[in-house]
Amino acid sequence: MQETNIVRNIAIIGHGNCGKTSLAEAMLFTAGKINRLGKVDEGTSAMDYEVEEINRNISINTAFHNYKWNKHDVYLMDTPGDDNFLNDTMFAAHVADGALFTIGAVLGVKGQTIKFAKIIKDQGLPTVIAINKMDRERADFRKTVAEIKELLPIKPVVIQLPIGEEENFKGYVDVVTEKAFLFDGDKGLVTPTEFPADLVDEVANLRESLMENVADSDDDLIEKFLEEGELTTEEIATGLRIAVRKGLLAPICVCSATHNQGTAPLLDVINDLMPCPSDRQPVTATIEGKEELVEIKPEADQPFAALVFKTMADPYAGRLTIFRVFSGVLKGDSFYNPNKKTSERFGQLYVMEGKEQKAVDSAGPGMIIAVAKLKETTTGDTLCDASFPVIIDSPEPLKPVISFAVSAQKGDEEKVFSSITKMLDEDLTLSLTRQPQTKQVLLSGVGKVHLDVVGSRIKRKFGVEMELSTPRIPYMETIRKSARVQGKHKKQSGGRGQYGDCWIEISPLPGGGYQFEDKIVGGVIPQQYRPAVDKGIQEAMEKGVLAGYPVIDVKIALVDGSFHNVDSSEMAFKIAGSLAFKKGAQEAGLVLLEPYMNMEIRVGKDNVGDVMGDLNSRRGKVMGMDSIDGLEIINAQVPQSEILLYATDLTSMTGGLGSFSISFSHYEEVPAQIADKIVAEVNAENA
């Protein structure tokens, strides 16, 4: 069993197209874990191995690997940078001990970068910043550093100053030791070189700034710095290590992942500055069945406790449950799941290595472990020793914000929906619901790309195609005024006839749903037939009158009628009730209602004007604004029909920084000109 102090557990986090996966590839290659340097663009990387990732050139799942470097065991989690798969990044950040925050030197700080920086800050993750793609055209190290300082809730300090940029990127100066290095071949290594004369002043200024920041983060060092005005190289290094592990400072390194430049120094920085599991604060958990809190100490001699943060389907191993060990050492063949109140048996422990799994005999703090074919355990569950039944908090999954109607080709329905059900186990941001008004089954997710990827996976894994279409809006109908009408059903065709006759009063009942009142005096309609009138009215309400949408908020009073001793029946009065309602609804002034949604939209200050203008164009009503953590929060109510693809539109408007949540609010009358168009479309479809 490895010692906890040589374990590092790192999530690679960053915006799309910043080169996270390429950097992970270079790290694995430099450490000798893989024997060739794969490329994302060619679909040969160790981490992006699913067909959908190769086709789209993006990470869709968090991928896992590990390497050994200078006697340290490092577990990597390469997280997605696309908003559609942000949930994976959130869960990985929750279980990581540190973040390798990757930022592209060309694109710099984007909206998504700010979003990821907030995740890092919220989790209190010790962070190393890697400014990647330093070899690319228009790479600008100093501009990128300035953006980091200005826009991110992280306090950066430069510890590597690049020698050259773009095609001239050839090395770096270590600001702590004031030594210069050139890149040596394509193995990620470096060799010492003469200190560049043109960087002397800049390095001196950076070192002075580094010294001040390091001193500020430690009481003993600040005292010495104020007295002597200087810290030794060893004191700077020690103080930097303490500050990074406390999450106070984020050192900046430079690299080019695709050319494998600067990788070995980055591996050294991770070993030296990133915390081991025992450096982190204990995790707080709840004892099963009690409100009592307990600390989970990240030590090997404690009882075993782990958190499941991902579930995935493997074509060979079946369903894989992936968890982070927080305390103790897992051996044997079973553990306890307090969330499900059951023990689970497992066959083998695995360490994930890209698309492969390597069997291990035991697992200790900091390790990312997978087991196959658990029956009850799902993402968010705690696994522990039965003698220590604790529940570790898990993040709340992102709520779906976009929905499409899902269908299948004739004969494939059962297979498609069983396939979707399996995907729901793997992806907590998916939901499958049935819309009663429109009779459609809705598949909801984080974005259109998200749902497209789900469809691609289902086709590849299960051999069936699901079809997505724009969902119908669940409109409703209601009335504006009151009316008194007769519904009469009389039919004679030899033998026994049909006779039902009722008078009803119909009136609006705003917010009251449906109410039926029996006001019959005497026996003009026998008691046994009156419920049939009610039933006929309700069935007619469900089918709608104006455009086939359910009618709501109506009060009905049954006030008069007549019957025939032989020809009257429940069916006849049911039909009479239906006829009365349809006639009365028309006379009472039918109108179309549309659902309004509550929206909470989070954007940067620079985007507020564009977003507000866009909401107005969608007939939205801004209900208020607030500010939290540097973001503006816009609360609005918007017609559902206007925001079916809002997730995509908001990303475009805000450069990926914006996010929103959505929930049903209420129904409102549709403006007349829009209602006329909807009714005409429905009538044309039914013609």
pLDDT given at position 100: 98
Q: H helices within 313-412, ranges in order?
A: none
pLDDT in tens, 576-628: 999 999 999 999 999 999 999 999 999 988 899 999 999 999 999 999 999 88
Strand pairing class (659-669; 590-603): antiparallel
Which of the four pLDDT bands, split at 50, 70 and 90, describes residue 188?
Answer: confident
- Token reading at 657: 């920084």
pLDDT given at position 315: 59
pLDDT in tens, 85-104: 999 999 999 999 999 999 99
Q: Is the pLDDT of residue 322 over 60?
A: yes
Lowest mean pLDDT among 198-207, 209-218, 243-252: 209-218
DSSP conformation class of 498? E
pLDDT in tens, 549-586: 999 999 999 999 999 988 999 999 999 999 999 999 99
pLDDT given at position 2: 59
- Token reading at 42: 């060619």
Average pLDDT value for the chain: 91
pLDDT given at position 313: 73
pLDDT in tens, 647-680: 989 988 988 888 999 999 999 999 999 999 999 9
pLDDT given at position 638: 97
Q: Residue 404 and residue 448: Cα distance in Å, rounded?
A: 9
3-state secondary structure of 558: strand
pLDDT given at position 317: 64
pLDDT given at position 288: 87
pLDDT given at position 687: 65
Mean pLDDT of all residues in 149-159: 94
pLDDT given at position 355: 85
pLDDT in tens, 497-524: 899 999 999 999 998 899 999 999 888 9
pLDDT in tens, 31-62: 999 988 878 777 778 887 777 777 788 888 89
DSSP of 421-483, one letter per residue?
HHHHHH-TT-EEEEETTTTEEEEEES-HHHHHHHHHHHHHHHS--EEEEPPPP--EEEESS-E
Strand pairing class (498-508; 554-562): antiparallel
Q: Residue 621 and residue 349: Cα distance in Å, rounded?
A: 54
**Angle at the Cα of 315 from the Cα atoms of 311 and 319, rounded to 5 degrees:** 30
Tokens 């200078």 found at: 70
Q: 357 near 66, Cβ under 8 Å?
A: no
Lowest mean pLDDT among 124-128, 221-225, 441-445, 507-511: 221-225
- Token reading at 106: 């060309």
- Token reading at 678: 């909807």
Which of the four pLDDT bands, split at 50, 70 and 90, describes residue 429?
Answer: very high
pTM of the predicted model as reported, rounded to 2 decimal places: 0.88
Q: Could you tell me the domains of the chain?
A: 4-279 (3.40.50.300), 283-392 (2.40.30.10), 402-469 (3.30.70.870), 477-588 (3.30.230.10), 593-683 (3.30.70.240)
Mean pLDDT of all residues in 431-450: 91
Q: H helices within 133-253, ranges in order?
A: 141-151, 200-216, 219-228, 233-245
Q: 592 near 677, Cβ under 8 Å?
A: no
CA atoms within 13 A on the CB side of 501: 12
CA atoms within 13 A on the CB side of 256: 29
